[in-house]
Structure 1
Amino acid sequence: MGQTRRDLLKVGGLGLGAAALSGLGLQAEARTMSVVPKADRPLDLLILGGTGFTGPFQVRYALARGHRVTIFNRGNKSLDWPGPVEELVGDRNEGNLSALEGRRWDVCIDNPTTLPFWVRDAGRVLENQVDHYVFTSTLSVYASNADPGADESAALLEYQGEDRMAETMKSVRANMALYGPLKAESEREVARWFPGRHTIVRPTLIVGPGDATDRFTYWPVRLARGGQVLAPGDGKDPVQLIDARDLAEWTVRMAEAQAGGAYNAAGPDYRLTFDAMLHGIRAVTGVAAELNWAPAEFLAERGINPWSDMPVWIPSEGEYAGFASRSNRKAIDAGLAFRPFADTVEATLAWFRDQPDDRRSQLRAGLTPEREAEALEALRAASS
């Protein structure tokens, strides 16, 4: 189905206009929090993590909703909060969760876990200390990406190693093929320790202000630079992503509801193609930029890889035909909502421009200007 005019307005933010979003960033986000409605019942909420990408948005939103918030992490990052937050220190890599012992919370939100033994150790302490457990997983847990529209009932990956409890973050970094299976095993461990009282949230690519990976940030920054832009494929490949703020706020509301089951946290709530995404970004930047679409075969011949060199993009064919087309109906029915795409773009740019010079000097994903220029020259030669 083609995009409607309503879809294009939502993608580009043209109904608001880029100027109306000027200056939107974390300060504006803080002002927005002042008008967040209170929850029906204040909760004692434990957040494992709390200072990473989505964690600070969760904490601020939970405080705005009237909840009493405790965070637990290694204590390596200090943040200012708009209200009282209890901070407990421990190291899950070393099994040190003693700070959690003898306490009670209504709900625990587990943000950073990739490893099954982290869930096991948390379960040993929290099994009788929390009423409900919310686990942040990933769409990477699915065994197949071949079927567009697949929902939460699709089969999950199985761990094929010797001992799932022996895997560490070091082993995951050395072999990223372990990431999905270990997340799936972590989900199974959650079900073992908190049967009938857990929620599994499976996000797609998380984007927005604060993203340390630059996987989405590459495109707003690149289009804001203008000129000739190398774009992957033919623009028709689908895209799914979710603003970290939308994910964080919905996760807190799911904690309030203590809704069980698994949910694909994927946006937006309309079909978004790569072409529409890039045009939407360009509309927000207001900078003249010409998109040069390069076939997948051309990119592969030059060692320009999907996802890393061309972030967000995976050709939707074969085993990846459904990669960016997961059903999000269950999550939307459970209250997942999405801010305008233009808001995400502008907030991402505002955040990135506020980073130190050394952080902005080299993006952590995407092509360098030199590699892009070489590819564009080769593309022009091939076209002529």
Structure 2
Amino acid sequence: MTTTRRDLLKFGALAAASAALPGWAKPSKPIKRAAKPLNILILGGTGFTGPFQVNYALARGHKVTLFNRGKRPSPEWPSAVEQLFGDRNTGDLKSLQGRKWDVCIDNPTSLPFWVRDAGKVLKGNVGHYLFISTISVYADGSKQGITEDAPLAVYEGKDAMAETQDSLRADIEHLYGPLKALSEAEAHKQFGKRVTIVRPGYIVGPRDETDRFTYWPHRVAQGGEMLVPGDGSDPMQIIDGRDLGEWMIRLAETGTLGTFNAVGPAKPLSTTAMLKGCERVTGKKPTYTHVSPEFLEEKKVELPIWVSSKSGPYAGYGAVSNTRAMAAGLTYRPFDTTVTDLLAWFRSQPAERQATLRAGITREQEAALLKEWHAKL
């Protein structure tokens, strides 16, 4: 079947929970120091995109403090980073009390009470609160060109503040978007006008433990006959985790407020264009066999990130508007760079990690599907 919002939520949650692994790629150009150094608090910071924020902030001359449970290994930072410990699940935020920061970036929150509790400690002690949300907050994902002003998903449970990580995981398809939407509302309640909401879609690149995008260049690199969904014209939206993380720091530097869809690339990326880009990087050119969305639906096959623009209730998730974000300074590194660095990172992982991708279909499944497809023709 086509990628659904369930797929987006499932892999989004996995990405948020990914372990901190090596993979910081040094920038090709020197990073200029910011005009005004900031004292930045990052809630989380050792997951997928957090280390990109930290490294960029340090390169720009900012002071960085991390707050988390300390259960993941921290990368080796290029300069000093203050580490505070606590547990937002239990309300243990004592290490944040009596401290002031210019900016707070909230990376991991999916539960409204996390924002409420952070507000109780940080309100009046941070000048700017930036919250990482998701495009899953939208009530209707079927429309093309979803803007930041579209209606949001409605929570239908009994008590949003009583929801926990366990209850979220148990019904992530129905709870993730609504609880993120309520977390956004709670951010405004706690921190007033000095709030920035950033709504990413699929975050990809080095350090991505979900393999949701890795599946495509990895498969292209293997060559041979390759199953391709649809006719190749369907849109794909991805953003390199480094582009997202670095933009968050620039938003903090400029004090930019508002709500933004953090999706990419700058220009529409079709399935065919994505595959051609993977060819350029890998030097391989598979033989593509295009199969219909209806066939994949019939066979209950899920292919990551790809969304048919002609079918499915979440077809618009491949074409969310990023106009406002680009106007606010969101930039994108070349697609080929993302693919090159992603594959380099993936191939640096242990052999057992590379052996089984966490998204997509196996070569055996693909061969069986292709055989069935050819038999239908």
Q: Same fold (TM over 0.5)?
A: yes
Distance across 2 between alignment mates of 1:333 and 1:246:
15
Q: What's the counterpart of residue 52 of structure 1?
A: 47
Distance across 2 between alignment mates of 1:37 and 1:207:
25
Distance across 1 between alignment mates of 2:197 and 2:209:
24
State the Cα distance separating 1:30 from its structure 2 match.
2.1
Q: What's the counterpart of residue 194 of structure 1?
A: 191
1:127 maps onto 2:123 in alignment:
yes
1:353 maps onto 2:350 in alignment:
no
CA contact (8 A) 1:72 1:90 kept: yes
SS in 2 for 1:93: coil
Among the aligned pairs, what percent are the same residue? 55
State the Cα distance separating 1:31 from its structure 2 match.
4.8
Deviations 1:114-152 (A, max 9, x none): 010111111111002101100000011011123222211
Deviations 1:173-192 (A, max 9, x none): 11122111111010000010
SS in 2 for 1:224: helix
Aligned with residue 316 of structure 1, among 289, 309, 314: 309
Distance across 2 between alignment mates of 1:32 and 1:90:
36
Deviating above 4 A after TM superposition, structure 1's stretches of 4 or more consecutive aligned residues are none
State the Cα distance separating 1:217 from its structure 2 match.
0.7
Task: Map 1:180-259 to 2 at 5 A.
Answer: 180-259=177-256
CA contact (8 A) 1:198 1:258 kept: no
Task: Map 1:1-384 to 2 at 5 A.
Answer: 26=23, 29-32=25-28, 35-76=30-71, 77-176=73-172, 177-305=174-302, 310-317=303-310, 319-383=313-377
SS in 2 for 1:94: coil
Distance across 1 between alignment mates of 2:90 and 2:364:
43
SS in 1 for 2:192: coil
Deviations 1:167-217 (A, max 9, x none): 111112111221111110100000100111010000111000001111101
SS in 2 for 1:202: strand
Q: CA RMSD in A?
A: 1.3
Distance across 2 between alignment mates of 1:376 and 1:30:
41
Task: Say if 1:170 and 1:373 are closer, same or farther in 2 by CA, change over 3 A.
Answer: same
Distance across 1 between alignment mates of 2:91 and 2:104:
17
Aligned residues: 353
Distance across 2 between alignment mates of 1:324 and 1:381:
31
Distance across 2 between alignment mates of 1:295 and 1:349:
28
Distance across 1 between alignment mates of 2:307 and 2:327:
27
SS in 1 for 2:346: helix
Q: What's the counterpart of residue 11 of structure 2?
A: none
CA contact (8 A) 2:23 2:207 kept: no
SS in 2 for 1:322: helix
State the Cα distance separating 1:26 from its structure 2 match.
4.4
> Normalised by the size of structure 2, how large is the TM-score?
0.91
Distance across 2 between alignment mates of 1:280 and 1:116:
40
Structure 2 unaligned residues grouped into runs of 5+: 1-21
State the Cα distance separating 1:237 from its structure 2 match.
1.0
Structure 1 unaligned residues grouped into runs of 5+: 1-24
Distance across 1 between alignment mates of 2:165 and 2:101:
28
